[in-house]
Structure 1
Amino acid sequence: MRLLLIRHGQTPSNLEFLLDTTVPGAGLTALGERQAAALPGALAGEDIEALYASTLVRTQLTAAPLAAARGLDVRVRDGIRELSAGDLEMVRGDSEAAKAYMATAFAWAAGETGLRMPGGESGAEALARFDAVVAEAADSGAGTVAMVSHGAAIRMWTAARARNVEVPFAAAHLLDNTGVVVLEGSPSAGWTALSWAGAAVATVASGADGGPTGRPLEQPAQ
């Protein structure tokens, strides 16, 4: 199966660098709406047979133009929602909050799945729910599946499940709004990442360590 993991369009919370992870979450900005509208063209070469979105409204709004263009229903699943920020939810917009959040997420990807986000879920819980939706998609028989999800969830899951993406790579590469990670494989055979934000995984240049809102972690709060 070919799996397209798509980050949602820009939200007001992204602009304020807030960890906005609970349902229903923020909608899209005007730019986010344009990003969503551009997805059908950007993915014109993909023969998408099934389309999923998380339970947060921003992913469903992002998926809507693609669904309309392809004549697909959007399958809304809680399992691919953003990693729970727990005690950090919507209370801080600084780099330290993002560092704490992503440090936990990438520890999960490295195998420390018993760790729990302060006030939130564990890595085992987060991976299990995402895995379940991917398994459902694989069982559907669709050749190419698109899932509109969230930056931290996509980066963490890919680092945990793709044989050719290690934690340092996922930690060092941002995934901008409506950025896409393309993988190929199956839950039983495993996954190989083919591209990350449009570049082949083997040739993507190293970048700054990136936070869940798309801001490099070392950049001061704005």
Structure 2
Amino acid sequence: MNGASEGVIQASSRTRVKLPGRQRRTAMYRILGVVVAAIAMLIGAAVPASAAESMRVTFVRHGESEGNASGLIDTSTPGPVLTPLGQQQAEDVVDLLGDNNYDAIYASTMVRTQLTAAPMSEYLGLPVQVLPGLQEIEAGVFEGTPEANASRGYGLYPIGWALPGVIPQIPVDRFNKGTVMPGTDGLNGYVFDARVDGALQTMYDNGDRNVIVYSHGGAIMFWTMMNVENLTPIQKLQLLQTAALGNTDYVVIEGNNEDGWTLVDWNGQRFSPEPTLEAEIALQQRTLTRQLDATFNDVADAFATGDVRTILTAVKGGAADTQFSFAKFRRAVTAKITNEIGKLTSQPAESVDTGNTPAVHSQVASVPATTGNSQTAESTDIAARVSAATSSFGAKPRSSTKKSEAVDADEASDGAKSVPGTLGTRPARNGNRGQLSGIKDAITSIVRKPGKTGESTSSGTSGTGTAGDAGADSGSSGSGDGDGGGSQSNAA
């Protein structure tokens, strides 16, 4: 009896040892599922349904390009590359915005935005996804002309699209949302608005709710003016006149295409209440959960192959990615807590008036807000009255002054960025964002000089795992970046 029982036990033991491969994989899946579920429970993965309805978008204008430095309007695709100053500005964006832990990184089909996005891609370990619709407003007949003259030509059209009738010297019957930019294939305010909307909808449909988008001065400023609902026309004009976006300046909006958009932050000027600590943690929890889900799926796919080497590589990479995801989550939450403590221990910042007193920028309070009929004004007078509103086209490139010693010290001690091993072609996270020569060379090799008007490109990746084809947007002659005009106008 005892001998029989012993034989049964031995046979049972042998059966357990020789489980078929499919059953072994199923068991592994169950173990992985328990681990991921436990992690999700620990971080409170459930996010209120309302959080999924709104998207936060941080637009960043590209760094100084060779086109900017030339002083000529260049809205061609793929367009010119960055200058050394522009490359440094791209690095500085990481110090300023990197700890926001974005869901995704997007860039236009123009090389200068992809190069500007590369350091952020390295820092966050995310690919740069290239989307049509984010490129600069095509200049048409104004392509190649001095940016300094934009206020008398190129700049009049987007101002008419965004603020029809607000400046009397720009008659609404000549400059409105339906007015076509001369020399383009039907590009007017409706077409421009729709193509940016389409790019944002793609991000939304991808499930992203906290994205950073590298685009162009004119595209960012005028789309924002055409769509945000919490500013008066005068406030919008004042921003264009006194706070035109320089290279690597940023704009934050929240909302969606269906319910509308709210301006939150215009390069440091707040126009909407800052998110609460609870809201920020909920958003970061959502981001962390998505990252962990992606890691789990990668490991599960590896197990499905049945190849031991593939499985081991995926498990090692998954462990590194999980550690890095938690590190980014910690950095983002810590930054928010530090900011909240700072507000409690310092004088409250001067608030921005978003009500009926549009005196946010008092130096331009004299600009009329009527729709008067001054169509007989001299063209030189029009240029003078509008030059401030189109100053974005001619703003001087900013010097690189954003680097923070505190951030640098934190980076030096942050072990998360020395996590070994990543999956696929994701960027190495070794903490040295300066080692981007391979990325930059790969993109720079696409085009060394500004492309010809109307030229299209397939911009592939940014060297950091860029996703998506960078086919030129169906625009008109040259779909590049006039950046709104002037020396900062993205003639670049």
Q: TM-score, normalised by structure 1?
A: 0.90
Kept in 2, the 8 Å contact 1:159–1:170? The answer is no
Q: How many residues align?
A: 218
1:144 and 2:210 matched: yes
2:450 paired residue number: none
Shift of 1:20: 1.0
2:161 paired residue number: 108
1:89 and 2:165 matched: no
In the aligned structure 1, how far is the partner of 2:485 from the partner of 2:94? 31
Kept in 2, the 8 Å contact 1:27–1:58? The answer is yes
Greater mean alpha carbon deviation, residues 18-27 or residues 136-145: 136-145
1:157 paired residue number: 223
Residue by residue, what CA displacement relative to the aligned partner does 1:98-138 show, whole Å, maximum 9, x if unpaired? 44222101211136221111112211111111110011112
Kept in 1, the 8 Å contact 2:98–2:124? The answer is no
Residue by residue, what CA displacement relative to the aligned partner does 1:173-200 show, whole Å, maximum 9, x if unpaired? 2101000001111111111111111221
2:112 paired residue number: 58
- For the residue of structure 2 that corresponds to 1:44, the secondary structure is helix
In the aligned structure 2, how far is the partner of 1:177 from the partner of 1:94? 15
- Indicate which of 380, 387, 392 corresponds to 1:211: 392
- Indicate which of 234, 237, 251 corresponds to 1:168: 237
Structure 1 residues 213 and 131, CA, compared in 2 at 3 Å: closer, same or farther? farther
- Indicate which of 35, 59, 78 corresponds to 1:5: 59
Shift of 1:12: 1.9
Shift of 1:214: 2.6
Residue by residue, what CA displacement relative to the aligned partner does 1:2-34 show, whole Å, maximum 9, x if unpaired? 110110000122123221111011110110000
More strand by share: 1
1:41 and 2:95 matched: yes
Rg (Cα) greater in structure: 2
Shift of 1:79: 0.3
Instruction: Return the letter of the residue paired with 2:163.
Output: A
Kept in 1, the 8 Å contact 2:148–2:393? The answer is no
More helix by share: 2
Greater mean alpha carbon deviation, residues 168-177 or residues 69-78: 168-177
Instruction: Return the letter of the residue paired with 1:169.
Output: Q
Instruction: Return the letter of the residue paired with 2:126.
Output: L
1:124 paired residue number: 190
Structure 1 residues 22 and 189, CA, compared in 2 at 3 Å: closer, same or farther? same
Shift of 1:212: 2.5
2:69 paired residue number: 15
1:30 paired residue number: 84
- For the residue of structure 1 that corresponds to 2:60, the secondary structure is strand
Q: TM-score, normalised by structure 2?
A: 0.42
- For the residue of structure 2 that corresponds to 1:155, the secondary structure is helix
In the aligned structure 1, how far is the partner of 2:125 from the partner of 2:486? 42
2:422 paired residue number: none
Kept in 1, the 8 Å contact 2:79–2:110? The answer is yes
Instruction: Return the letter of the residue paired with 2:393.
Output: P
- For the residue of structure 2 that corresponds to 1:176, the secondary structure is coil
Residue by residue, what CA displacement relative to the aligned partner does 1:117-171 show, whole Å, maximum 9, x if unpaired? 1112211111111110011112222221111000000011000011124341342
In the aligned structure 2, how far is the partner of 1:147 from the partner of 1:89? 25
Instruction: Return the letter of the residue paired with 1:28.
Output: L
In the aligned structure 2, how far is the partner of 1:17 from the partner of 1:159? 25
In the aligned structure 2, how far is the partner of 1:217 from the partner of 1:7? 13
Kept in 1, the 8 Å contact 2:147–2:393? The answer is no
Q: CA RMSD in A?
A: 2.2
Instruction: Return the letter of the residue paired with 1:100.
Output: G
1:184 and 2:254 matched: yes
Kept in 2, the 8 Å contact 1:182–1:196? The answer is yes
Structure 1 unaligned spans of 5+: none
In the aligned structure 1, how far is the partner of 2:193 from the partner of 2:239? 16
Structure 2 unaligned spans of 5+: 1-54, 165-175, 272-351, 354-359, 365-387, 397-483, 488-492
Structure 1 residues 108 and 65, CA, compared in 2 at 3 Å: closer, same or farther? same
Instruction: Return the letter of the residue paired with 2:238.
Output: F
Instruction: Return the letter of the residue paired with 2:161.
Output: W
Structure number with higher relative contact order (C-alpha < 8 Å, ≥ 6 residues apart) = 2
**Percent pairwise identity:** 36
